[in-house]
Amino acid sequence: DTEVTQTPKHLVMGMTNKKSLKCEQHMGHRAMYWYKQKAKKPPELMFVYSYEKLSINESVPSRFSPECPNSSLLNLHLHALQPEDSALYLCASSPIPGVLTDTQYFGPGTRLTVL
Amino acid sequence: GIQVEQSPPDLILQEGANSTLRCNFSDSVNNLQWFHQNPWGQLINLFYIPSGTKQNGRLSATTVATERYSLLYISSSQTTDSGVYFCAVTGKSTFGDGTTLTVKP
């Protein structure tokens, strides 16, 4: 099973709402990633978890809060977002953190609209 | 950080035509991937190719690591090949800006 799943597929939220995005993989991968992709742009790295610990935070605003409850699951908690945070949020996983020969596998993404 | 440049930015083909997409990177890399992003946003792995040549059906890729470039070849293109093609140095989680391919029937 080489699949990364993400829920929900679409999310519309107001600026005062709190919501969460969920990502799951059952490939035994020990690195998981959140990316943000705006229209007609490449994905931009937000966070990396290695062995369930946050290893990279690309200076992401605190209104985005990642969580890795176990090796298969990655959440992104959203609070007090701005309309400019509307984007496609992609989750990815790779087998071994810190190894330069990793292959990343991506989920289908959550399309977020902030009103 | 590492720079990844892709060319051309846009490509329009007639069905059945062949094409070559290029990816240049600014530093030596140990991991490079090609992805196809479909119209629904899904990033599909095409190749993991830090060096050498690989083929998968109508697609093939070549990376010349010493000269810091990679090429993606698409032969006998089909309308389902349309979308955005990204190369990425996945060890640095850095993507190029992509090539948008449109294949017309």
pLDDT digits (tens, 9 = 90+) for A19-40: 999 999 999 999 999 999 999 9
CB-based contact B31 A102, cutoff 8 Å: yes
CB B4 within 8 A of CB B24: yes
Q: Is A102 on the interface with B (CB under 8 A)?
A: yes
Q: Which residues contact B88 (CB under 8 A, 6 or more apart)?
A: A42, A104, B4, B32, B33, B34, B35, B94, B95, B96
Confidence check: pLDDT of A113 > 70? yes
Amino acid symbol at A47:
F
Q: How far away is chain A from the Cα of B16, in angstroms, using its nearest Cα?
A: 26
pLDDT at B27: 87
C-alpha to C-alpha distance for A13 and A20, rounded to whole angstroms = 11
Nearest to A66 by CA among A38, A87, A35, A42: A35
Which residue of A33, A41, A109 is in closest CB contact with B93? Answer: A33
pLDDT at A70: 93
Confidence of residue A101 (pLDDT cuts 50, 70, 90): low
Confidence check: pLDDT of A1 > 80? no
Q: Which residues of chain B have pLDDT under 50?
A: none
Which residue of B42, B90, B97 is in closest CB contact with A42? Answer: B97
pLDDT at B7: 98
CB A90 within 8 A of CB A37: yes
The dihedrals phi and psi of A85, each to the nearest 5 degrees, come to -80, -5
